[in-house]
Structure 1
Amino acid sequence: MRRIQTAILVISLAALAGCQSDDPAKDMMTDYYQRLGNVLDAPTPDFTAPELPTLPRKRDLVQPLDELRMGVLDAYELRQCGLFNLIAERNSSLGKVADRFRQLDYELKFIDTAAQCLPQVKDPSIHAELEKALALKRQQREKVIWNTLIDSDAWRAQLNLPAFTLPIELPAHSNAVNTIAQFSQLIPSTQAPTESVTDWQESIEKQPILGDLFVSLSYHTAWLNQTSELIANHQDKVRCGGNFDTTRLKRLQTVFYKFYVGDVQPYLARVDGLYRDLAPALARLASLNTPDTFNDYKNAYWKGDAYQAYKAAIKHHADVWQQLFQRCDVKLGQ
């Protein structure tokens, strides 16, 4: 008998575990929407997921670079200032298979080292060749940054759009935010960072927050707009004042305070705060010259179109509630 009871308990626990959602934030929005529908005695059509801009394939985004060939690598001046060793390391067997972060690290170090070497070079032909090489590297600097952004596994982990939105209680993400900000500061700067960019790779890869944030902006905008439409289209069912039965109004107030103000609104504010933390970095990334195939993604998430739609949806939702409460002479906070 005890074994049977134990088996039933295990099965029950497994069933409960199976009912747990992988996306609690979407569940919270759905619950809020359904509760409003129940109080308003209104149909609640299934949510229509928004159409998200796709992140194009790597091969459609990578920008080609001009090859640099120097015939004076063994010149004494280049050995003395460290440029020879840097190039030799890049041309080694390991250097030739370096990933995008290491390639970027090399390019930044080359520009920095070559700029320091140039005043030390006395031979006119070597000076002219190094000057030409430095100009090419500087010209291609942003392309190398872009190729790292779009072709490295670490950055693709950040930029890919997942199936889930951000969790209700946002995880610690300060390292990722700081690292993304550091990386973005390479774009306006002409100086190499004081540390190797490879030191940033792990944090970018292991704390993917951008894709989750972008999906959250789009999905929650659509949810808010659909929920606002539900309230606006059926608020005439809410009787208030005079001798009318105000039961429905009181139930709506409960949903507003307990589920919207208590749960949904704080979560939306946390998502908003995370985007604002990342917005300066995203704006710098958006300043890069990118292929046309990337425009939809770039405009939505880097330039902030999705965020502006998100803010507008939050304001519209608040306005719909305010119109309802004003009609019924209900003061918020009472």
Structure 2
Amino acid sequence: MKALLLPLLLISVVACSDNSGEQALKDYQQRIERVLNLDAESTGLKPVQPLIAIRDLKQTPTDIRLDLSDAYATRQCGLDQLIGERNSSLGRLYSPSKLLHYELRLLSALENCLSQSWQDTALQQTLQDAYKAKQADINVSVQNMLLTDSALRKELIGTAKTLPLQAAGFTETWQALTTLNQLTDYIADKNWAAASDINIEQQLQQLYHYNFIGRLQYSLRISAHQLQQINNLLQPISADSLCANQRETEQLSILSNVFQKYYIAKIQPYIGQLNDYQQQLMPLINNLYNDSPITPMLEQRFVASHLQMRQQLTQHVTWWQQLNNSCPIKLQATEN
């Protein structure tokens, strides 16, 4: 039975299935209820604390613009094109992510301009002042992107949809988060050229397309909730009531089949997958949102839900272990 105590350490290969993780857990509960002739009262999933509204998170960056004559004067280093872009009708409507990318390109251009020789010392000083101000202000644009961009908000708010037993998009999500972390590292190092080369929109598109983070947080919550309901069913039932005088009964035999068919074949590997996703993605999310205003909401959605899921799983496996030690069913983990 000890093999059954390792579901959080190993990722099993799951047989192809179109079922969601939530449905697999519900099926497992229904089979247990049927075998034990129980009728559990289902409780709804508790809501999480909503994210802080965008209007309360968005900051206003310093608006630093050069006049048209300066723009012409800075044509030699390409700054005039950026000034024109920001002053265009599209530039005035940039999303937080596009505005951050613009600010990074502007800093890179300003850095390049200031590396050149200038006869107009007044303009050079103007560029220097603008460069210092933009550097001091860049974190405002970073936070606006992380906290108010629609693609990221979709992930952080979550969705009432679990990841399937085999989920696509993990690698792409991990790569997008890793790239965004690299972006913040470049910004911290004031490596504006490298930061401006990162295609922020592409990373956000990957996150939005797969919605992996949004589904992961819901999967953690619903898995913890469903396991708790199953545990509430099983805890009052003693091993003696299922195998008096240590004799195997038809009911016990059917129950062990339910364990093998649903828990071992589906639930164990699914929970293992969620655990693996959480352990690999959460450090990247934490690094991006460290000490942000929404950190408590993310802790509740991911860390607390993950911990509750593990606790409920341990309790569930302990019940089966006690049954296996008391009754002649000899439960064994099967190869998937």
Q: CA deviation at 1:262?
A: 0.9
Instruction: Please provide the CA RMSD for this pair.
Output: 2.9
Alignment pair present for 1:270 and 2:261: no
Letter of the 2:70 partner, please give it: D
Alignment match, 2:232:
229
Which residue, 137, 140, 145 being the options, matches 2:137? 140
Alignment pair present for 1:58 and 2:58: no
Q: Deviations over 1:17-40 (max 9, x none)?
A: xxxxx9743222112112222333
Segment of structure 1 superposing worse, 119-128 or 38-47: 119-128
Moved over 6 A (4+): none
Alignment pair present for 1:98 and 2:100: no
Letter of the 1:314 partner, please give it: L
Q: CA deviation at 1:121?
A: 5.2
Alignment match, 1:307:
306
Letter of the 2:317 partner, please give it: A
Q: 2 CA distance for matches of 1:49 and 1:113?
A: 51
Q: 1 CA distance for matches of 2:307 and 2:109?
A: 43
Q: 1 CA distance for matches of 2:19 and 2:143?
A: 32
Alignment pair present for 1:261 and 2:271: no
Q: 2 CA distance for matches of 1:330 and 1:221?
A: 27
| Structure 2, gaps ≥5 residues long | 1-17
Q: Deviations over 1:176-234 (max 9, x none)?
A: 33123212322232231533323334323322111111111111111112212322222
Instruction: Assess, with a 3 A threshold, how the Cα gap between structure 1 residues 193 and 176 changes in structure 2: closer, same or farther.
Output: farther
Q: 2 CA distance for matches of 1:111 and 1:321?
A: 61
Which residue, 176, 179, 194 being the options, matches 1:179? 176
Q: Deviations over 1:123-177 (max 9, x none)?
A: 5544444333333323332331222233333223333322221123313443333
| Structure 1, gaps ≥5 residues long | 1-21
Instruction: Assess, with a 3 A threshold, how the Cα gap between structure 1 residues 243 and 145 changes in structure 2: closer, same or farther.
Output: closer
What SS class does the counterpart of residue 70 from structure 2 fall into?
coil
Q: 2 CA distance for matches of 1:75 and 1:94?
A: 19
Alignment match, 1:284:
287
Alpha carbons 1:52, 1:218 under 8 Å: kept: no
Letter of the 1:310 partner, please give it: M
Which residue, 79, 84, 90 being the options, matches 1:83? 79
Q: 2 CA distance for matches of 1:73 and 1:136?
A: 20
Q: 2 CA distance for matches of 1:75 and 1:64?
A: 24
What SS class does the counterpart of residue 232 from structure 2 fall into?
helix
- TM-score calculated relative to the size of structure 1: 0.80
Alignment match, 1:202:
205
Instruction: Assess, with a 3 A threshold, how the Cα gap between structure 1 residues 244 and 159 changes in structure 2: closer, same or farther.
Output: same
Q: 2 CA distance for matches of 1:145 and 1:306?
A: 28
Q: CA deviation at 1:326?
A: 2.5
Instruction: Assess, with a 3 A threshold, how the Cα gap between structure 1 residues 27 and 119 changes in structure 2: closer, same or farther.
Output: same
Segment of structure 1 superposing worse, 247-256 or 29-38: 247-256
Give the structure, 1 or 2, with the largest relative contact order (CA under 8 Å, sep 6 or more).
2
Which residue, 44, 49, 64 being the options, matches 1:48? 44
Q: CA deviation at 1:317?
A: 2.2
Aligned residues: 309
Q: 1 CA distance for matches of 2:107 and 2:301?
A: 31
Q: CA deviation at 1:80?
A: 2.2
Alignment match, 1:189:
186
- TM-score calculated relative to the size of structure 2: 0.80
Alignment match, 2:158:
161
Which residue, 25, 50, 70 being the options, matches 1:74? 70
What SS class does the counterpart of residue 238 from structure 2 fall into?
helix
Alignment pair present for 1:213 and 2:216: yes
